[in-house]
């Protein structure tokens, strides 16, 4: 199974859930797709043995071949190419490297050069195979690197994918093709507001999902009432705990010190598998 872990709001404990879930399982692969600021390695402490450059093809226009027909500009969904009367402008910071401009050019005027956007790191920690991506500082678009990280998915393993916060393009790219998505929230007004946004996205993408309430007990019961009203399953509650917070502050995953939680995460996965097998 491919299980993504997302949250509308940042700081809800999404990485905490993803990491502890991975450490509770066997034959598991962990992907950190929060490429703008990956932090799962702080807790998993993997030994990185492969590091490879990631790049995307950026168009270059050959002025000796171009007839300024404008087909490349029309094909570009991201406005990365603009065709003037006798000149073509390319905006590399907008380009997603999809290659559509080259595909539609009948004059064969579009050439490509590789632009480095970051690195992919591959390693291992215990029973967990680890992959993450690190986007170059200043690089404005994360989705191409997320796509390359996901190419490392091993379908023979249970795959846990840690998404970035929010509901923008990086999250959509991360959860795309997941068998199930875990939404991590907190029982606060901000947690509820952003949870609703994430739920809307997953419904539109037709991805099965359930909710984990983290730091349960710090706020009110409005998240639970919302889930009950919308018939959304709350698959786990993690209480507000000084012990968990203390371990977190030291970069220690709490399932390593509180083994009873491993059983809860294993039961959670079994429940997800049974639900998706129906």
Condensed to tens digits (0 to 9), the pLDDT of residues 179-215 reads 999 999 999 999 999 999 999 999 999 999 999 999 9
CA distance 194 to 267: 27
Domain ranges, ordered by start, for the chain: 2-54+119-276, 63-108
CA distance 93 to 12: 31
* Average confidence (pLDDT) over 253-274: 94
* Average confidence (pLDDT) over 247-271: 94
3-class SS of residue 258: coil
State the CATH architecture for 2-54+119-276.
3-Layer(aba) Sandwich (3.40)
- Sole residue written with tokens 């875990």: 182
Question: For residue 271, what pLDDT band results from cuts at 50, 70 and 90?
Answer: very high
Judged by average pLDDT, the poorest of 38-42, 181-185, 235-239, 273-277 is 273-277
CB count, 10 Å around CB of 58? 19
Q: How many helices (H) and strands (E) does the chain have?
A: 10, 11
* Average confidence (pLDDT) over 240-263: 94
> What is the reported pLDDT for 275?
83
CA distance 19 to 21: 5
CB count, 10 Å around CB of 53? 10
Between 278 and 25, the more confident residue is 25
CA distance 74 to 55: 24
pLDDT exceeds 70 at position 130: yes
248, 257 in Cβ contact below 8 A? no
Mean pLDDT of the chain: 95
- Going across the sheet that includes 47-61, the strands are 47-61, 110-125, 128-135, 28-32, 158-162, 2-6, 180-185, 209-216, 234-239
CATH of domain 63-108: 3.30.70.20
* Average confidence (pLDDT) over 234-252: 95
Question: For residue 46, what pLDDT band results from cuts at 50, 70 and 90?
Answer: very high
The domains spanning 2-54+119-276 and 63-108 adopt the same CATH topology: no
Per-position DSSP letters for 255-276, written without gaps between them? GGT-THHHHHHHHHHHHHHHHH
């Amino acid at each position: 199974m491919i299980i993504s872990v997302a949250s509308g709001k940042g700081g809800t404990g999404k990485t905490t859930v993803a990491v502890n879930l991975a450490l509770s399982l066997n034959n598991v692969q962990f992907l950190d797709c929060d490429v703008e600021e990956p932090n799962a390695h702080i807790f998993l402490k993997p030994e990185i043995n492969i590091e490879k450059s990631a790049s995307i093809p950026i168009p270059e226009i050959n002025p000796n071949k171009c007839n300024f027909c404008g087909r490349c500009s029309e094909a570009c969904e991201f406005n990365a190419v603009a065709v003037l009367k006798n000149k073509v402008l390319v905006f590399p910071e907008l380009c997603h490297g999809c290659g559509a401009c080259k595909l539609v050019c009948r004059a064969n005027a579009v050439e490509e050069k590789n632009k480095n956007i970051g690195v992919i790191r591959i390693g291992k920690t215990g029973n967990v195979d680890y992959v993450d991506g690190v986007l170059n500082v200043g690089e404005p678009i994360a989705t191409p690197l997320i796509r390359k990280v996901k190419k490392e998915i091993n379908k023979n393993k249970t795959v846990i994918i840690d998404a970035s916060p929010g509901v923008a393009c990086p999250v959509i790219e991360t959860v795309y093709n997941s068998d199930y998505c875990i939404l991590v929230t907190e029982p606060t007004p901000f947690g509820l507001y952003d949870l609703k946004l994430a739920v809307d996205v997953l419904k539109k993408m037709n991805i099965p999902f359930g909710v984990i309430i983290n730091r349960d007990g710090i706020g009110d019961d409005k998240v639970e009432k919302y889930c009950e009203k919308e018939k959304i399953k709350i698959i786990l509650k993690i209480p507000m705990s000084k012990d968990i917070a203390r371990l977190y502050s030291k970069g220690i995953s709490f399932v390593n010190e509180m083994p009873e939680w491993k059983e809860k995460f294993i039961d959670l996965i079994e429940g997800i598998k049974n639900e998706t097998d129906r």
